[in-house]
Amino acid sequence: MPLTSDTVRLAALADLHYSKSGTTALQPLFEQIAESADALMLCGDLTDYGLADEARMLAKDLAPVKIPIVAVLGNHDYEANQEREIVQILSDAGAHMLDGDTWEFRGVGFAGVRGFCGGFGRGALAAWGEKIIKDFVHEAVQEALKLEAALARLTLPQRIVLMHYAPIRDTVEGEPAEIYPFLGSSRLEDPLSRFEVTAVFHGHAHKGAPEGRTQTGIPVYNVSYKVLKTNYADRPPFRLFEVRPLQTGDTGVTPIGERVWARRATDHGPAA
């Protein structure tokens, strides 16, 4: 399909787990992303222990990346109670940090939340019994409500959602079944369907599956770094998508990494 001027290329990645040990040096990867995409989506677990120092290391590596960045936090980013500082550091570095917020870029609307866990479908934890169980479920409900409120504010027809936890079971498959309830929540799926979202990106399930769909057919992509390393060993560990103007019967977003990297491997030409 020929590219049009209003086609937007989005790169997606999650679970960077930047650590003070200095073993997470992704600057070359970020430079590769900047050459290939118009914007970068980061879907949480940006740091390993939730330390501001880890966020500073990430911000330093992101500094040469001149394309816009939009991101949500993950559970690891909360570990040291320094999440506000992490948001500030990454915002100062130019990233659009979403927590029930929206961002618009070249005609595409973005909404982002961290999300929460609690399980999927008939196995989802219900708000019943002890207060602590109700509080746990309440957190997932609150995240779903935040997402719903953000989507309600977006007026553009192309709506992309970033979250850290999975909204469906399909993209956590591959993980041990015992931990499915801690990898996401079906409660996050309802707002996606109600607002007919174009596509959803998440991380958290490092051993999950790269793609799935909501019950209404919305594509869901698990872009966890390790998922990409495992499933797309022939290309750099980020996914690349083309977002097009909506047409009848068109989901509006297409993965193009395979096409781009295959072309580069054969002709060593410029980015497709």
Q: Which of 150, 174, 151 is nearest to 224 (CA)?
A: 174
CB of 164 to Fe ion, least distance (A): 6
CB of 16 to Fe ion, least distance (A): 9
Regarding 230 and contact with Fe ion (CB under 5 A), the answer is: no
Count of alpha carbons within 13 angstroms of residue 64, beta-carbon side: 11
41 bridge partner residues: 12, 70
CB of 189 to Fe ion, least distance (A): 18
CB of 48 to Fe ion, least distance (A): 9
Count the residues of the shown chain that bind Fe ion, applying the rule CB under 5 A: 5
- b vs e for 245-260, b when ≥16 Cβ sit within 10 Å of the residue's Cβ? eeeeeeebbbbbbeeb
Q: Which of 8, 215, 258, 44 is nearest to 120 (CA)?
A: 215
CB of 251 to Fe ion, least distance (A): 27
252 bridge partner residues: none
Looking at the Cβ atoms of 7 and 19, the one nearer to Fe ion is 19
What lies within 8 Å, CB to CB, of 128 at 6+ separation is 134
Looking at the Cβ atoms of 19 and 193, the one nearer to Fe ion is 19
Cβ 165 vs Cβ 220: under 8 Å: no
Coil, helix or strand for 211? strand
The three-point CA angle 16-21-24 to 5° equals 30
Structure tokens at 96: 């659009």
Q: Among the candidate windows 12-20, 114-122, 178-186, 262-270, which touches Fe ion by CB under 5 A?
A: 12-20
Contact string (CB under 5 A) for Fe ion, positions 38-77, x = contact: -------x----------------------------xx--
Looking at the Cβ atoms of 72 and 243, the one nearer to Fe ion is 72
Contact string (CB under 5 A) for Fe ion, positions 175-214, x = contact: -----------------------------x----------
Coil, helix or strand for 102? strand
Regarding 114 and contact with Fe ion (CB under 5 A), the answer is: no
Looking at the Cβ atoms of 34 and 200, the one nearer to Fe ion is 200
Residue nearest Fe ion, CB atom distance: 45
Residues that bind Fe ion (CB under 5 A): 15, 45, 74-75, 204
